[in-house]
Structures are given as C-alpha cells and as structure tokens.
Amino acid sequence: MGSEDYLQHALPMINQHLPNITELLFIPFAGVSVSWDDYTQKVQNALPDYQVKSIHQFPDAHQALENAQAILVGGGNTFNLLNELYQQDLLDTFKRQVNQGTPYVGWSAGSNICGNSIRTTNDMPIVQPPSFEALNFVPFQLNPHYTDYQPPGHNGETRAQRIQEFCILNPKMPVIGIREGGALLLQGDSLILKGELDGVVFEGGSQRVIQPNQDLREYL
C-alpha cells in the first residue's frame, strides 16, 4: 500500500490469518520478469517469521500442496500463473486442499485466481491458458488494485467502464473491486472486507460501495 515496503501493510492480516503456522508454500508462477528463486527470496525477506519454500523447489508439486501448512500465491501476470497451474495439472489438488481447510493467502494475481475466472484481471494476456476458469474459492469475479483514478489526458476506458462491459455480457456474475491495502477474508460462511478503504461491487447494471468489515456473505 502506497510507499510502504513489500507486504508491510498486509503483515498484520497475514499473521492473524495464519496462527500457529511456521512454514509457507509459495507459488511464484505469476513471476515473469523475475526468476522464481528470486521471487521466493523476496517473499521470504518480507515474511521473516515464517519459513517460505517455493513449490518449484519440490520434486513433487502435488505432494507439496498436500503437505502444506499454508499456501501463498503472489502477484505478477495472472495469465502466466493460471497457465502454469493448468500445465502442471495442479488445479484439482490445489482446490481440494484449500477447500479442506489449508489456509490460503493471495495478492494481486493470487487474488484473481480465487474467483470464478480470471476474466476481470487487469493483466495483459501474454500467454493463453487452456481455460480462464480459476479456483472458484468464491463464486464471483475479483478485481484487485481497483481504482477510480483517471490520469489527466487519458481517453481510454476507466476501470469501472471495463468492468461494466463484463457485467453487460455476464449480468448475473458479481465483480468485487478491492482497492490497494484491502483484502477479502473468507472463513467458512463468513466473507468480509478488511482494510481501511471501501470496495465496489458491480452486478448487472448496478454499482455499489461496500465498507470495511461489512458482511458480504450474500455473495457466497
């Protein structure tokens, strides 16, 4: 958030979400301009209270997921992330482990794959996954880094206009926009917005603001 150090703003939320966890399985597949080893080290440096190991460092990725105390997925390019999960045939194991209770933390691209599909990511499709269908931990679409800002002189579509285009073609599929520093916390049948800033829900032709700590279980 802002000019803070990498993951600094998220640390309290991460620590609260991962009590009694000492080891984290990191999935670095969204990293394209950074090596997966360097990406893993960057996350390790940001989370010194945990031991961070990357899934690409294990001889058996499925077994790594099955044995993980918690799973982290970082940001980068969402299309490359999802493509790697498909190419390595990890989606079913991934979904099963989290649905059975393995704690999950994802940011940016790692948030995008939690929704029904990645069709509302902000990323450029630099690679074509077999499908845009994602993990569906929540039955709606996500748009992290949501902003209302439009640079002076910029005549392209705003973020809201692009999401509204999706909603015109998919009127029954909500899209939740999460601003910088915010997060969605899913625990059982509870879904709330964390952080200090509001979020936005797009659905059909409507758009409404959601507040921090608001009960959002109607979208589950």
- Structural domains in the chain? 1-125 (3.40.50.880), 138-220 (3.40.50.880)
User: For position 151, what pLDDT does the model report?
Assistant: 86
User: For position 143, what pLDDT does the model report?
Assistant: 98
| Count of other CB atoms within 10 angstroms of residue 96 | 12
Q: CB neighbours of 161 closer than 8 A, spacing ≥ 6?
A: none
Ranges of residues in the chain with a pLDDT under 70 are none
Among residues 17, 62, 145, 198, the one annotated as catalytic is 145
Q: Report the Cα 197 to chain-centroid distance in Å.
A: 18
Parallel, antiparallel, or unpaired for β 183-187 and 104-106?
Answer: unpaired
User: For position 197, what pLDDT does the model report?
Assistant: 94
Among residues 54, 108, 111, 117, the one annotated as catalytic is 108
Going by C-alpha positions, the residue among 74, 91, 168, 178 that lies closest to residue 136 is: 91
Q: CB neighbours of 168 closer than 8 A, spacing ≥ 6?
A: 205
49 carries an active-site annotation? no
User: For position 5, what pLDDT does the model report?
Assistant: 95
38 carries an active-site annotation? no
Residues 100, 169: Cα–Cα separation, whole Å: 33
9 carries an active-site annotation? no
Residues 173, 109: Cα–Cα separation, whole Å: 19
Distances (CA, A) of 4 to 8, 10, 46: 6, 10, 12
User: For position 83, what pLDDT does the model report?
Assistant: 98
Parallel, antiparallel, or unpaired for β 190-194 and 183-187?
Answer: antiparallel
Q: CB neighbours of 169 closer than 8 A, spacing ≥ 6?
A: none
Asked if residues 94 and 135 have their Cβ atoms less than 8 Å apart, the reply is yes
Return the H-helix or E-strand segment holding 92.
helix 91-99
User: For position 208, what pLDDT does the model report?
Assistant: 96
Residue keyed to tokens 């450029």: 124
Among residues 9, 17, 62, 123, the one annotated as catalytic is 123
pTM: 0.96
Distances (CA, A) of 49 to 56, 69, 120: 21, 14, 33
